[in-house]
């Protein structure tokens, strides 16, 4: 569903942010991009929905080069969840969830049916939460609305940038559990960015460990733990997961 | 009345211009700076300057409206710019990421969120304009200022108050009304 081939991107500084990044995400699979800050993971994510454009290499979504796609139409087919949720504070929960269907011109009845269904999925029943404003929700609830909003037009691909990064550890843990549950039910291709290796291992079917704009190792958590590709990966894993086998 | 016309026109110019400045950040400083400088010109002098200018100048209400627009423009322009610039970047990013066009983002997200700040600017502009409008009587624009000038000329306090009190009440009423609208929107 998503494929990066030798992608390079620089913002004009000496060192490029992405320096030959390659990976792919299959249908129904979750790939977690993880790495220290500045490794280029968020930049990589934004290349997919063309919030940024790459300098060279190839970014393909749905089998087609993103550079040939209309960015607006492309984004409406890609769910997007960011750290602080970025909900529209002047709209109700329901209106937030219905944002993309509205942009796509769905009929009101269809939009309402869809938002009710999704709010039920994220355990915020529309009858109770639909009319609330984002500021009347907790951080975890806002993040769930963010997920529901991203899923509204039923995109086959979901892009998530530190989706649970702003939550306290307890809310974070329960959101991670819910994520695994949604994932099983919805079978979306998910590209997830996180700085937290523990989260990457928990949520990702496969994990790509990034450093300085390159994937140092891509594999299942088991593969990475069993056979770290190089010293950077070995050190990163042992720093982030004390007690894991060396 | 003078103020209604001039403020409405100043909104018509100031809001689009303020939005344009958020799109061209490099122009924002010089333009806001220029508007600031214009603001410091004494109003009577500005009325005087405008009189010889063809089309907008001359004696009468038209000149006064042009001058009042100039004064009302700065607070509206500045607040529109500040209001839009202060929208949470995460909200902008998600609006873009969800696939809104620039126009949709402006109308559905940025302007509604900036509205209370824009309205605060309109409120300041209105109150300032009501005060200034009384001075416009000096160039024959009419209005409550006529009573004040006449009262000053013949040293009649009652006549001065007959112009000044309604003007002050008008300013207070406009301030309260727009302040109420602003709070409703927050």
Domain layout of chain A by residue ranges: 1-77+157-246, 88-155
Residue A113 confidence (pLDDT) above 60: yes
- B104 chain-A contacts, CB cut-off 8 A: 103
Nearest-neighbour CA in chain A from B18: distance (Å): 21
- A150 chain-B contacts, CB cut-off 8 A: 98
Testing the interface with A: which of B83, B98, B116, B184 to mutate, by most A Cβ within 10 A? B98
Residue A26, pLDDT score: 92
Residue B55, pLDDT score: 67
* Contact criterion met (CB < 8 Å) for A75 and B113: no
- A95 chain-B contacts, CB cut-off 8 A: none
Q: Regarding beta strands A78-81 and A64-65, do their DSSP bridges make them parallel or antiparallel, or are they unpaired?
A: unpaired
Residue of A51, A85, A150 with shortest CB distance to B96: A51
Chain A / chain B CB contacts < 8 angstroms: 57
Measured on CA atoms in the order A134, A138, A139, A141, is the torsion positive or negative? Answer: negative
Using CA coordinates, name the residue in chain A closest to B102. A72
Q: Tell me, what's the ipTM?
A: 0.85
- Euclidean distance between CA atoms A116 and A112, whole angstroms: 6
Angle at A193 between CA B87 and CA B95, to 5 degrees: 25
Mean pLDDT for each 10-residue chunk of chain B (186 residues)? 83 89 86 84 80 72 83 90 92 93 93 92 90 81 82 87 88 89 80
Place of tokens 């100031």: B14
pTM score, two decimals?
Answer: 0.83
- A87 chain-B contacts, CB cut-off 8 A: 91, 94
Residue A246 confidence (pLDDT) above 60: no
Percent of chain A with pLDDT over 70: 98
The mean pLDDT of A187-201, rounded to a whole number, is 92
pLDDT digits (tens, 9 = 90+) for A149-179: 999 999 999 999 998 888 888 889 989 999 9
Residue B177 CB neighbour total at 10 angstroms: 12
Residue A135 confidence (pLDDT) above 70: yes
Residue A245 confidence (pLDDT) above 60: no
Residue A74 CB neighbour total at 10 angstroms: 18
* Contact criterion met (CB < 8 Å) for A103 and B100: yes
pLDDT digits (tens, 9 = 90+) for A26-61: 999 999 999 888 888 999 999 999 999 989 989 999
- pLDDT-based confidence at A184, cuts 50/70/90? confident
| CATH H-level superfamily of A1-77+157-246 | P-loop containing nucleotide triphosphate hydrolases (3.40.50.300)
* 3-class SS letters over B93-149: HHHHHCCCCHHHHHHHHHHHHHHHHHHHHHHHHHHHHHHHHHHHHHHCCCCCHHHHH
Residue of B94, B100, B112 with shortest CB distance to A82: B94
- Euclidean distance between CA atoms A4 and A2, whole angstroms: 7
- A75 chain-B contacts, CB cut-off 8 A: 96-99
* Contact criterion met (CB < 8 Å) for B95 and A76: no
């Amino acid at each position: 569903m998503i494929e990066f081939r030798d992608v390079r991107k620089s913002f004009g500084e000496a060192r490029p942010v992405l320096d030959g990044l390659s990976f792919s995400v299959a249908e129904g699979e979750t790939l977690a991009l993880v790495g220290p800050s500045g490794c280029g993971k968020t930049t990589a994510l934004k290349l997919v929905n063309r919030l940024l454009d790459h300098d060279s290499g190839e970014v393909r979504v749905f089998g087609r080069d993103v550079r040939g796609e209309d960015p607006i139409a492309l984004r409406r087919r890609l769910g997007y969840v960011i750290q602080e949720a970025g909900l529209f504070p002047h709209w109700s929960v329901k209106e937030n969830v219905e944002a993309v269907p509205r942009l796509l011109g769905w009929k009101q009845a269809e939009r309402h049916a869809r938002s009710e269904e999704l709010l039920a999925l994220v355990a915020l029943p529309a009858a109770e939460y639909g009319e609330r404003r984002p500021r009347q929700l907790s951080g975890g609830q806002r993040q769930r609305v963010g997920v529901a909003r991203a899923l509204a037009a039923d995109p086959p691909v979901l892009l998530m940038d530190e989706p649970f990064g702003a939550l306290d550890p307890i809310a974070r843990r329960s959101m991670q559990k819910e994520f695994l549950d949604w994932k099983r039910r919805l079978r979306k291709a998910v590209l997830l960015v996180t700085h937290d290796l523990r989260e990457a291992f928990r949520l990702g079917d496969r994990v790509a460990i990034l450093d300085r704009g390159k994937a140092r190792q891509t594999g299942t958590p088991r593969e990475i733990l069993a056979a770290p590709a190089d010293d950077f990966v070995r050190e990163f894993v042992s720093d982030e997961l004390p007690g894991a086998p060396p | 009345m003078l103020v209604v016309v001039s403020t409405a026109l100043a909104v018509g110019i100031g809001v689009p211009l303020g939005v344009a400045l958020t799109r061209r950040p490099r122009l924002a400083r010089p333009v806001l700076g220029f508007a600031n400088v214009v603001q410091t010109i004494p109003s009577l002098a500005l009325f005087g300057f405008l009189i010889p200018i063809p089309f907008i100048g001359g004696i009468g209400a038209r000149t006064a409206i042009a001058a009042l627009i100039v004064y009302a423009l700065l607070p509206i322009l500045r607040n529109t710019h500040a209001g839009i610039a202060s929208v949470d970047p995460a909200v902008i990013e998600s609006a873009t990421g969800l696939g809104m066009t620039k126009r949709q983002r402006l109308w559905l997200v940025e302007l509604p969120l900036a509205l209370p700040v824009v309205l605060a600017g309109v409120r300041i502009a209105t109150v300032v304009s009501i005060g200034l409008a009384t001075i416009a009587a000096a160039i024959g624009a009419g209005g409550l200022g006529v009573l004040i000038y006449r009262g000053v000329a013949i040293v009649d306090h009652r006549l001065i108050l007959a112009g000044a009190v309604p003007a002050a009440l008008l300013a207070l009423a406009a301030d309260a009304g727009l302040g109420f609208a602003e709070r409703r929107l927050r």
